Chain A
Amino acid sequence: MTTPDLLIVENLVKRYDGLLATDDLSLTVRQGELHAIIGPNGAGKTTLIKQLTGEIRSDAGRVIFAGQNLKRVSEPGRSHIGLARSFQITSLFQNFTVLENVCLAVQAHSGHSFRFWKKINNDTNLTEPALTILQHMGLEQRAHTVTSSLSHGEQRQLEIAVALATKPKLLLLDEPMAGMSKEDSETLIEHLLELKNRYTILLIEHDMDAVFSLADRISVLVYGRAIATGTPDEIRNNEDVRQAYLGEEA
Chain B
Amino acid sequence: MSLSSRQVINSALLVFLAALPFLTDWVGDSFYTGLVARILILAIAALSLNLLIGYGGMVSFGHAAYIGVGAYVVGIGAFHAFEDGIDWMLNGYVQLVAAILGSAVIALIIGAISLRTRGVYFIMITMAFSQMLYFTAVGVETYGADDGLSIYSRSDMLGLIDLNDEKSLYYLIYVSLLVVLYLMHRLVGSAFGNVIRGSKSNEARMRAIGFSPYKYRLTAFVIAGAIAGYAGFLMANLNDFVSPDVMHWTRSGDLIIMILLGGMASLFGPLYGALAFLMLEELLSSIPLTVGGLRVGEYWQLLFGPLLILVVLYARNGVDSFLPGARKGS
Residues of chain B lying within 8 A (CB to CB) of residue A227 = none
Contact B216–A113 (Cβ < 8 Å): yes
Contact B189–A79 (Cβ < 8 Å): no
Q: Does A27 contact B (CB under 8 A)?
A: no
Name which residue of chain A comes closest to B190, CB basis.
A116
Q: Contact flags (1/0) for B173-203 with A, using CB distance below 8 Å? A: 0000000000000110111111101100110
Among B186, B190, B191, B201, which residue has its beta carbon within 8 angstroms of that of A93? B201
Interface residue ranges of B301-330 to A (CB < 8 Å) = 329-330
Question: How many residues from A make CB contacts under 8 Å with B?
Answer: 39
Interface residue ranges of B194-214 to A (CB < 8 Å) = 194-195, 197-198, 201-202, 204-212
Q: Does B219 contact A (CB under 8 A)?
A: yes
Residues of chain A lying within 8 A (CB to CB) of residue B204 = 55, 87, 91
Q: Give CA–CA (A114, B208) in the complex, Å.
A: 19
Q: Does A108 contact B (CB under 8 A)?
A: yes
Among B192, B193, B207, which residue has its beta carbon within 8 angstroms of that of A76? B207
Contacts A95-B330, A116-B192, A119-B189 known; A76 to B205 CB distance under 8 Å?
Answer: no
Residues of chain B lying within 8 A (CB to CB) of residue A84 = 208-209
Most B C-beta atoms less than 10 A away, residue of A55, A94, A114, A162? A114
Residues of chain A lying within 8 A (CB to CB) of residue B187 = 116
Q: Give CA–CA (A121, B202) in the complex, Å.
A: 19
20 contacts between A and B (CB under 8 A): A53-B208, A55-B208, A75-B207, A75-B208, A79-B207, A85-B208, A91-B202, A92-B205, A94-B201, A104-B194, A104-B195, A105-B209, A105-B210, A107-B194, A107-B195, A113-B216, A116-B193, A119-B186, A119-B189, A146-B329
Binding site for A on B (CB under 8 A): 186-187, 189-195, 197-198, 201-202, 204-212, 216, 219, 329-330
Enumerate the 9 nearest inter-chain pairs by beta-carbon distance, A residue then B residue, closest first: A79-B210, A108-B210, A115-B191, A93-B201, A105-B209, A113-B191, A108-B209, A76-B212, A113-B195
Binding site for B on A (CB under 8 A): 53, 55, 74-77, 79-80, 84-85, 87, 91-96, 100, 103-105, 107-109, 113-121, 146, 148, 162-163, 165-166
